[in-house]
Amino acid sequence: MKKIKIYSLGLFLCFIGQPFFSQSIDSDGDGVADIIDLDSDNDGIPDSIEKKFCNLPNNPTSSATGTGAYKGQLVFFDWSGATLNSTTGTISRSTTLNGVTYTATISGFTGNTSFVGNDIDAWAGNSGIAGLYNFGGAAFREGFYSKPEPLNPNRKASFNVTFTSSDPRIRFQIIPMDTETTFLDIERIIFRTNGTPFSFLEDNGAAYTITGVGTQTLVYTNTEQQRTASGRYGNALFASDATVLNVTMEWINGGKGGQGVAFAIRPYCDIDGDGLPNYLDLDSDSDGCPDAVEGADDVNMPHLATADMTVPFVARKWSIIANAKGKVSTTGTDIVSSQSSALGVPEIVNTAVNNSSSIQGVAHVDTMPVGQGLNNNAPYDASINDRCFCTLKNVNPSSTPLETKVGITALGRAGNTDVDNWPMSRAGGHIALESDTKGFTITRMSTTQIQAIANPVIGMMVYDTTENCLKAYVEIQASPSVVRGWKCMNKAGCPQGEMFNR
């Protein structure tokens, strides 16, 4: 496939001259680098929807105490036994979450003071951050502390922290922390990132002076101006999608007190805990039903790769490999849009104006012009998989379903005198047809011809020769406005109540 080159990413170049995310990684193999791909796994659900945060299954550091809202999302590193000073080389610590190893590496220390691995509650009873997150005790040292030095005023220190994961496709946020306090005109902490501008995450409700939000540089100048009801000074957390954090601490105007810092990462949501975040996972809830099929549009199994592919083009199992017309691509070049509004999003789920082909995707039935929605959160809820599994004989066991009174059979059985009690045993229908020697003839039309039907009515059926499925015209959405469209009948029936993947 033709690769799209990234000529300029100036926004993401940092103070140390490194891009915060690889410019060459293309997780779905569609020719659009992840850093500009609006759908990094080609399931038709845009990253803007899938790239969210949630409590991470099996998070090894989710046991922090405090009132922080993100204890299940932040991942800390244990710096027990670590010392930072002018003789320090490189220090690394790692933690593993759902099979992915995250590593923080400290390097480039300069300054005339020293730090040791320390509990995040650097100033016991007063630190604002410790009131939000704290492990306590000597077993886990999530931060660094420089003790007061009465004979060494106006000291300074600076170092870099580089964060990596064992899977280079996986991105995360960096969360720096002032774990003691800063005091106006005496000390300050400066955090610089090589990634996206810092955005607000949370605070503890008391006042503070922290500048630089919305830029790549945060400056903490006064987090000792107001206490909470529990007696802790004001403080706040901010986040940046990044891989490198520069930490600079300065004592000024004779300042010589203690100071502490810490840092955590915040990986994106991985609802099933398999190590792949939802925006890269093609079955995010591990229910055996692809996200692409569980979305709000009419994507079906024939539109997807049945296994990982390298020829005639690169694609991952259960990613969309059909073009806007619903035909499986032979080259890979007609699968995703190259329009800036839908860059890297499969055309089958977009409106015509957002597609390079100028053809509306045959699967597009929801109200989103680019990509598909979550269909009542089905891609992330393992209990919802009806797009891939058959319908039970009686979906409501607490009630008695209506019998099917009318049937046409070629199998020589009918009525309640027959042991099969057919067609009444096929409960819930208006009419039942069966034969093993005769076919049921239904109108056959292409997708284009079906879409050209001027006045379709609810319940109308036709066989789509383009998508190779029986379609019905149905109500897809009831609110906030009624949406109707053609949907493939891809939900198999289970007369005996079995469940199977189609």
pLDDT digits (tens, 9 = 90+) for 246-301: 999 999 999 999 999 999 999 999 999 999 999 999 999 999 999 999 999 999 98
Q: What is the pLDDT of residues 358-386, one digit of tens each?
A: 999 999 999 999 999 999 999 999 988 87
The last residue of one of the domains, among 235, 252, 267, is: 267
Q: Are 190 and 7 in contact (CB under 8 A)?
A: no
- pLDDT at position 369 is 98
The last residue of one of the domains, among 233, 252, 267, is: 267
- Count other C-beta atoms under 10 Å from residue 85's C-beta: 14
User: For the residues 308-323, what does the mean pLDDT come to?
Assistant: 96
Dist. CA 105–CA 189, nearest whole Å: 20
250 in any annotated domain: yes
Dist. CA 270–CA 278, nearest whole Å: 5
The pLDDT of residue 9 is above 70 = no
Q: What is the pLDDT of residues 424-447, one digit of tens each?
A: 877 777 788 877 677 778 899 999
440 in any annotated domain: yes
Whether residue 480 has a cis bond before it, omega within 30° of 0: yes
Tally the domains of the chain.
Answer: 2
Which range marks the domain in which residue 412 is found?
406-488
Task: Please name the residues in contact with 222: beta carbons below 8 A apart, sequence gap of 6 or more.
Answer: 182, 183, 184, 208, 209
Q: Are 146 and 178 in contact (CB under 8 A)?
A: no
User: For the residues 122-136, what does the mean pLDDT come to?
Assistant: 81
The CATH code of the domain that includes 169 is 2.60.120
The pLDDT of residue 334 is above 90 = yes
Whether residue 267 has a cis bond before it, omega within 30° of 0: no
Number of H helices, E strands in the chain: 3, 20
Q: What is the pLDDT of residues 293-308, one digit of tens each?
A: 999 999 998 899 999 9
Dist. CA 59–CA 73, nearest whole Å: 8
37 in any annotated domain: no
496 in any annotated domain: no
219 in any annotated domain: yes
421 in any annotated domain: yes
38 in any annotated domain: no
What's the sign of the alpha-carbon dihedral 212, 216, 222, 223? positive
The pTM of this model reads 0.78
Dist. CA 43–CA 249, nearest whole Å: 45
Beta sheet of 143-146, edge-to-edge order: 83-84, 115-118, 143-146, 259-267, 172-178, 236-241, 199-203
More reliable by pLDDT, 476 or 240: 240
11 in any annotated domain: no
Task: Please name the residues in contact with 467: beta carbons below 8 A apart, sequence gap of 6 or more.
Answer: 300, 302, 303, 326, 362, 447, 488
More reliable by pLDDT, 484 or 313: 313
The pLDDT of residue 86 is above 80 = yes
User: For the residues 118-141, what does the mean pLDDT come to?
Assistant: 82
The pLDDT of residue 412 is above 80 = no
CA distances from 82 to 11, 93, 105, 176 (A): 34, 10, 12, 18
Q: Burial level of 439, CB count in 10 A (0-12/13-18/19+)?
A: exposed
**Are residues 410 and 263 both part of a single domain?**
no
Strands annotated E in 48-136: 83-84, 91-97, 100-111, 115-118
